[in-house]
Structure 1
């Protein structure tokens, strides 16, 4: 029987610098994964952390990682042909099959775009399977912008609003993502879904703004990208009330998520 808690060694194929603080690591991997699942990435004797998949292709997965502590400092010291240990995949996924044939709204902040990027690429590569895609994403400033090439690509097919918290720049509005949700034509949608990923405060405010502009609770989905430790519901670190985020999530419909925000 496979030990789901045992990390496996995987070869780093490529390292992409996104910003000064965020790198994307492309790692050899050839087994199936679902949208927004996460892995526990680790370096022996240093530690491990849950990181969502930010990209995938034939024979590889990508993880976009922010340099924030001892483990990520260690990972940032790795390069192509080095070994990264992984266990997973864990967690559920966005119901992407149910998103097809409908209008889709994606709202994300900062690194919150990373776990949604595979979904965005799915609809970019298959434009006929959605009525429309509206993308609102925000970053702190121009130095924090992630996935510049893909932002430009998405703008070719999607309805996009890109913003920066405290400054203007070519191609970007000034302000927070919540300020631009009023531009989403919820009243014109026959059927739709909303996917929101970002810091908890941002997700809560974005969901409330969607509701204020006519969205229905059961059409909104969020992903909790923190607190998970063991990944299998044993340690209890991610437990909120009676819900284990790593097992029952990290993706939740807002009808349940509204009682999980803390």
Structure 2
């Protein structure tokens, strides 16, 4: 009988500092072609534990996956002690990803708050490399301050091709142009109009950020069916057995983490 929770060790290829508290871990993963945008994997260490981490990018041709990890607990503390060449046991990928969204020939708006950029980075990079797949992409990122801005070099490249607003809660940000919450800038997005058939909105960030950002889009007339969110919750088993991620009758690890807002707005935890 197959053991569904048995991890497989994979070799750590690279560790790169992104901010003072977040590092990017690239892991050799020959099965990367099976990964979908927005999915997560369970990372584990023997005698320590395991934790769910979103796949922030992957390469099917080169055979690797990347994780943005913040040092916030027992498992992540130990992962930060690993170096290139060490083995990192993993299992997955799990969950419904952004492949649930039909982005073909659509205007795609992506709004993120803080580390919420990590789960959608692979989708953004895919559209950046394959712009012919969509009509257009517009980006709205919010960070606490300048020191918490993620993937600076990529952001600079993304904004060369796609309209972008980057805002910080306080300070001067990347270019010093925008201060405040992302909700303040939703009404000024170029793609928001009276016609929403070709629009898909993706929102990822803290729960309140996603809730109030979605409300701002609804105020503009965007139907809930055109809005997608990703629930970044603490999950334990990832296979729907432990119940830690359950909201009412919904198991986030199985039916999410990506949800259409028409369903997600009623998932109150």
TM-score by length of 1: 0.96
Aligned 1:43-192 pairs, distance under 5 A: 43-57=45-59, 58-95=62-99, 98-172=102-176, 173-184=178-189, 185-187=191-193, 189-192=196-199
2:223 is matched with: 216
Q: Give the alignment's Cα RMSD to 1 decimal.
A: 1.3
CA contact (8 A) 2:196 2:222 kept: no
Unaligned runs of 5+ in 2: none
Change (3 A) 1:95 1:195: same
1:4 Cα deviation (Å)? Answer: 2.2
Deviation string 1:175-216 (CA, Å, 9 cap, x unpaired) is 111111111232155511011111111111111111112211
Tell me which of 37, 40, 59 is aligned to 1:38.
40
Q: Distance in 1 between matches of 2:40 and 2:253?
A: 9
CA contact (8 A) 2:166 2:173 kept: no
Q: Distance in 2 between matches of 1:209 and 1:95?
A: 24
Q: Distance in 1 between matches of 2:268 and 2:138?
A: 25
Change (3 A) 1:47 1:17: same
Q: Distance in 1 between matches of 2:101 and 2:185?
A: 27
Unaligned runs of 5+ in 1: none
Change (3 A) 1:143 1:36: same
Q: Distance in 1 between matches of 2:247 and 2:119?
A: 22
Aligned length: 262
TM-score by length of 2: 0.94
1:245 is matched with: 252
1:233 is matched with: 240
Aligned 1:193-204 pairs, distance under 5 A: 193-204=200-211
2:12 is matched with: 12
1:160 Cα deviation (Å)? Answer: 0.3
CA contact (8 A) 2:37 2:97 kept: yes
SS of aligned partner of 1:101: coil
CA contact (8 A) 1:4 1:88 kept: no
CA contact (8 A) 2:142 2:166 kept: yes
Deviation string 1:196-244 (CA, Å, 9 cap, x unpaired) is 1111111111111111122110000001111211000000000000000
